Amino acid sequence: MKQPSHAFWSVTASEILKELQTTPQGLSVEEAQERLARYGSNLLKPRKRTAALTLLLSQFKSPIILILLLAVGLAGVTLVLPFSPLGGLFKFRHLPAPFFVALGAIVALYMIAAEIAKKFFYKKIES
């Protein structure tokens, strides 16, 4: 079969039938079998399954993920550094316990707010 010369929406039904070498009743059984043998079945190839570990590790190829991991590492260092021997060397002060409680609360509230926002967003998209 040759490629159509015009956009499909600008061609009449009779011209399309002629181009596809068929009739309004469809192909005969013999013609359908011959085309199946010539062109193969009209099926999509199944996608390869990806293992969960492979999928997880592939996430770390993204530069934004690497930047975020670096930021988390630096934040962790800044929180731990005052309690380490280097903290005494640089005369860093220990942060008070309420700071860590407030920080944890802020992070938890942010995560809750993000999940609520996602639910509203996806509800709006679906409707």
47 lies in some domain: no
Domain that includes residue 121, residue range: 96-127
110 lies in some domain: yes
- 84 and 70 inside one domain: yes
- 13 and 34 inside one domain: yes
pTM score, whole prediction: 0.42
- 88 and 113 inside one domain: no
- Decide if 43 contacts 36 (C-beta within 8 A): no
Tens of each residue's pLDDT in the chain, 127 residues? 556 566 778 888 888 888 888 999 998 899 999 999 998 888 888 888 878 888 888 888 889 999 999 999 998 898 888 888 888 898 888 888 999 899 999 999 999 999 999 999 988 887 7
1 lies in some domain: no
70 lies in some domain: yes
How many domains would you assign to the chain? 3
Question: How far is 5 from 14, CA to CA, in rounded Å?
Answer: 15
